[in-house]
Amino acid sequence: MNSFDVIVIGAGAAGMMCAIEAGRRGRRILLIDHAEHPGEKIRISGGGRCNFTNIHAAPKHFLSANPHFCKSALKRFSAADFIKRVEARGIAYHEKALGQLFCDDSSRSIIEMLTDDCKEAGAELRLSTSIGTIEKTADGFALETSGGALACSSLVIATGGKSIPKMGATDFAYDVAQQFGLHIIEPRPALVPLTFTSGLLEEMKALSGVSTEASVSCNGMAFREALLFTHRGISGPCILQISSYWREGDDIAIDLAPDIDVFARLRAARQTTGKLAPQTVLAEFLPKRLADAATARAGLEGRIGDASDKKLKVLSDAVKQWRVKPAGSEGWRTAEVTLGGIDTDGLSSKTMEAKETPGLYFIGEAVDVTGWLGGYNFQWAWSSGWAAGQVV
Ligand code: FDA
């Protein structure tokens, strides 16, 4: 029998949640994925421990051309609702920082919870299956797949965004959306390391591997978390966060010592420990290699006792107001998520159904709703999948 009430394409976070909810309502569900295993991004997420939600998840943590679109789904299936499922399953978890919840053991326990729930809800899972054509029929949709022809009344597209093509990410959701007349907001890599120009890279070469807490800002947003110098440029949570707000050609402002009045510290050291080199004073609160690089960038040499206020200000600014123009980002290869995607204008925020094509739904990362780093993107996948699962 190749006819189903609901076909969900994409057995990731959103697709599995939708299949569970619809299956529990007694719908006959087929969940299809071209990968060999379901939930591969869940498996690799959070360093293998899946940062499965954020207890503070709220609409303000999401970027979208329509910032109101995510509100309904997030409210109706919240972080607390997902946490209840994790607790009922007996999965041990902990808060790492900033409300981010991680599994104590392995992200596989989340995948197992979802696949068991799918099974219990009666949803059939077909892996290693690719989709050819999709056509609208009088009473639903007809699909050509590598496993034969299929039909359904409701079709849910949950194939995610473009990040990490090596893991099977495709443009599929955008192609289907366009086939049915929906608009796409240009997808761009987000939560992604930023790269330096070759000149800056040469100057910063010695810093590769250095990590420090920093405050970064760009286009009116600021994040304060760890910053990591890499052999390509800069990364770490604060850079991944700001990458969602950065655009080509923009500067980002970096404060490498957010709690410290560096100018005051340098002036005080000039009085009390004038024989020290400026970088030795900076190294009291910065990693040594970073202190050396900032001092070299400010062009300071000799003893701090001989430096004028003007020179100390230049050095302080090199630490507190470092302005960098990234050359670009590391792109889809390492981006955690996709910014942009299917324009929410064409979708119902309550059900995720395409306004002009009844029976067609888009959920998860494919939609133009992108969370900050810290469990927000999975929460969007759970919430949007749940919302569609109530009605498909
Ligand atoms: P998801 O990508 O999970 O699933 C899409 C499914 O569709 C996949 O199974 C794929 O194989 C399938 N598919 C794609 N194209 C297809 C096609 N043409 N035909 C058939 N099937 C197709 N978020 C978070 O909140 N906390 C975290 O800790 C992390 N960590 C993290 C680490 C890394 C390295 C990455 C890359 C991403 C994260 N994320 C994250 C982001 C999170 O993984 C992401 O936002 C969700 O997985 C999105 O869920 P979806 O179900 O929408 O897509």
Contact 369, 166 (CB under 8 A): no
Q: Tell me which of 329, 360, 375 is where a domain ends.
A: 329
Clarify whether residues 89 and 181 are in a common domain.
yes
Residue 243 has pLDDT above 70, yes or no: yes
The answer, yes or no, to whether any atom of ligand 1 lies below 6 A from the CB of 10, is yes
- What is the arithmetic mean of pLDDT over 19-27? 98
Q: Percent of the chain, pLDDT > 90?
A: 98
Q: Which two tokens stand for residue 183?
A: 């608009």
Domain termination residue (choose one: 329, 353, 374) = 329
Q: Quick one: which atom of ligand 1 is closest to the CA of 15?
A: 51
Both 68 and 182 in one domain: the answer is: yes
Specify the CATH number for the domain of residue 66. Answer: 3.50.50.60
φ and ψ of 367, to 5 deg? -85, 155
| CATH number of the domain where residue 255 is located | 2.40.30.10
Pocket lining: 240 vs ligand 1, CB cutoff 6 Å: no
The ligand 1 atom at the shortest distance from the C-alpha of residue 160 is: 53
Q: From 300, 304, 301, select the one nearest 315 (Cα to Cα).
A: 300
CA of 234 to the centre of ligand 1 (A): 24
- What are the distances in angstroms from CA 114 to CA 35, 336, 356? 16, 21, 31
pLDDT tops 60 at residue 50: yes
**Based on the domain organization, do 77 and 208 belong to the same domain?**
no
Does the predicted interface ipTM exceed a cut of 0.95? yes
Q: Which atom of ligand 1 is nearest to the CA of 375?
A: 25
How many domains, the chain? 2
Question: Which structural domain, as residue segments, surrounds residue 237?
Answer: 194-329
Q: Are residues 224 and 280 in the same domain?
A: yes
Whole-angstrom Cα distance, residue 253 to residue 202?
20
Looking at residue 151, its pLDDT comes to: 98
Closest atom, ligand 1, to C-alpha of 53:
25
140 in ligand 1 pocket by Cβ < 6 Å?
no
The reply to whether ligand 1 has any atom less than 6 angstroms from the CB of 45 is yes
Whether the pLDDT of residue 241 is over 80: the answer is yes
25: pLDDT strictly greater than 60: yes
Ligand 1 contacts CB of residue 82 (under 6 A)? no
In this prediction, residue 239 carries a pLDDT of: 98
Mean of all residue pLDDT scores within the chain: 97
Residue 370 identity: T
What is the position in ligand 1's atom list of the atom closest to the CA of 168?
Answer: 11
CA–CA dist 382, 362 (Å, integer): 13
**pLDDT of 203:** 87
Is there an atom of ligand 1 within 6 Å of 320 CB? no
Reported as a single tens digit per residue, the pLDDT across 250-259 is 999 999 999 9
Enter the pTM of the model.
Answer: 0.97
Mean pLDDT of 335-345: 98
Task: Check whether 333 has a pLDDT greater than 60.
Answer: yes
> Does ligand 1 come within 6 angstroms of the Cβ of 164?
yes
**Same domain, residue pair 265 and 343:** no
Our mutation pick for probing the ligand 1 site, out of 41, 235, 372, counting the most ligand atoms within 8 A of Cβ, is: 41
Calculate how far, in angstroms, residue 99's C-alpha sits from the geometric centre of ligand 1.
21
pLDDT tier for residue 272 given thresholds of 50, 70 and 90:
very high
The pLDDT of residue 17 is: 98
* Domain end call among 296, 329, 362: 329
Q: Is the CB of 172 under 6 A from ligand 1?
A: yes
- Cα torsion angle, 74, 363, 140, 4, sign: negative
Higher pLDDT, 317 or 168: 317
- 97 pLDDT tier (thresholds 50, 70, 90): confident
Whether 79 and 161 map to the same domain: the answer is: yes
Smallest CA-to-CA distance from 18 within 135, 157, 145 is with: 157
pLDDT of residue 300: 93
Residues 277, 376 share a domain: no
Identify whether the C-beta of residue 94 lies closer than 8 Å to the C-beta of residue 104.
yes
Cβ of 155 closer than 6 Å to ligand 1, yes or no, is no
Where residue 1 falls among pLDDT bands split at 50, 70, 90? Answer: low
pLDDT attached to residue 205: 87
